[in-house]
């Protein structure tokens, strides 16, 4: 093939290629790009390169925005943690207020009895006793033998005193012995602690007396100890101790006993009351018939 023929075929191929490109651009709606290029090639090329540059700039800005967003998120997390802490503190204050309000109501129910509010500051580590330590002592007028109760019920009595603290023997200790009474039948007995892991029992209940599960057990207020040659009562009457959980009776015996579930959750005790004074009967005319007084 000679040169003029090759030129003609090349021109035809070029025209056909251009027609195909124009057809495709027109079909896809991009024919304007071709005409823009034909009218002003420099501006068209600048426009084509501007879009990737804009995309790159946008991506860089998005990276900066992400860093700002992350910093804001950390700030929000810090503020949320502070708000949660303040809420917890507010709840603690509400709890303290409610506890004090309950304590005030409890004290007002028995205005004839003098009570001193004390905080539980520790527990006796000795395995021999079940006791707790409070932040009031002899400087506050506390003495050995004074009863200790709470808004829930009887806790125990003081058995050791220092100027600024005291140890309270719990009613659960196996050396604890307290005159008590059944709330329904009014039958009397003596409450004994069972020691670590043992049951609190109300013993020496007359067999003819009715003792039923669910009965409330309270202090009887009866005299039962000698002090300086006189009979005394260590506990005022009517302090709630707990409820009867089970009854132990036998027809072959003249007495029965009951296992008592304490009304106090000793593990959760934070504040207690020391009963420093309560109405007592005048027993000054009685002497120790066994001569055991000092």
Domains observed in the chain = 115-277 (2.40.10.340)
Whole-number mean pLDDT of the chain? 79
Query: pTM surpassing 0.75?
Result: no
Kindly report which listed range (116-120, 144-148, 232-236) carries the lowest average pLDDT score: 232-236
Q: Are 147 and 235 in contact (CB under 8 A)?
A: yes
Task: Name the nearest CA neighbour of 274 among 172, 145, 173.
Answer: 145
Burial of 172 (0-12, 13-18, 19+ CB in 10 A): buried
3-state SS class at 176: coil
Helix (H) / strand (E) containing 73: helix 41-109
Positive or negative torsion for Cα 278, 282, 288, 294:
positive
Q: Are 180 and 188 in contact (CB under 8 A)?
A: yes
Q: 120 pLDDT exceeds 80?
A: yes
Give the whole-angstrom CA distance, residue 100 versus residue 114: 16
Of residues 28 and 66, more confidently modeled: 66
DSSP E strands: which ranges in the chain? 114-123, 131-134, 147-149, 154-161, 166-170, 177-182, 188-192, 200-206, 216-219, 225-227, 230-232, 240-248, 255-262, 271-277
Residue 231: the pLDDT is 47
Q: What is the pLDDT of residues 78-110, one digit of tens each?
A: 888 888 888 887 877 777 667 667 766 777 788
User: What is the band of 226 on the pLDDT scale with cuts at 50, 70, 90?
Assistant: very low
Q: What is the pLDDT of residues 129-170, one digit of tens each?
A: 899 999 999 999 999 999 999 999 999 999 999 999 999 999
Q: Where are the alpha helices (DSSP H) in 129-208?
A: none
Residue 228: the pLDDT is 46
Task: Give the other-Cβ count within 10 Å of 142's Cβ.
Answer: 24
Q: Of how many residues is the chain composed?
A: 294
Residue 213: the pLDDT is 94
Residue 114: the pLDDT is 92
Tracing tokens 């329904």 back to the chain, one arrives at: 184
């Amino acid at each position: 093939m000679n040169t003029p023929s090759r030129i003609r075929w090349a021109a035809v191929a070029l025209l056909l290629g251009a027609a195909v490109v124009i057809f495709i651009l027109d079909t896809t709606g991009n024919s304007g790009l071709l005409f823009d290029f034909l009218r002003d090639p420099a501006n068209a090329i600048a426009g084509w390169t501007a879009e990737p540059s804009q995309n790159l700039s946008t991506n860089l800005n998005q990276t900066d925005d992400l860093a700002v967003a992350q910093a804001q998120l950390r700030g929000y997390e810090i503020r949320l943690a502070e708000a949660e802490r303040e809420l917890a503190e507010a709840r603690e204050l509400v709890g303290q207020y409610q506890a004090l309000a309950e304590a005030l109501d409890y004290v007002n129910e028995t205005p004839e009895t003098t009570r001193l509010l004390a905080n539980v500051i520790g527990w006796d580590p000795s395995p021999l006793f079940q006791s707790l330590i409070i932040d009031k002592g002899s400087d506050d007028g506390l003495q050995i033998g004074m009863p200790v109760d709470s808004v829930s019920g009887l806790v125990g009595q003081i058995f050791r005193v220092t100027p600024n603290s005291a140890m309270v023997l719990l009613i659960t200790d196996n050396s604890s012995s307290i005159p008590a009474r059944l709330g329904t039948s009014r039958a009397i007995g003596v409450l004994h602690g069972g020691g670590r892991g043992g049951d609190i029992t109300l013993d020496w209940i007359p067999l003819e007396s009715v003792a039923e599960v669910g009965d409330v057990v309270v202090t009887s207020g009866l005299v039962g100890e000698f002090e300086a040659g006189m009979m005394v009562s260590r506990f005022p009457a009517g302090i709630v101790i707990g409820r009867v959980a089970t009854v132990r009776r036998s027809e072959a015996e003249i007495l029965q006993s009951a296992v008592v579930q304490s009304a106090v959750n000793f593990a959760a005790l934070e504040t207690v009351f020391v009963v420093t004074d309560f109405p007592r009967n005048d027993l000054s005319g009685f002497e120790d018939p066994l001569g055991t007084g000092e």
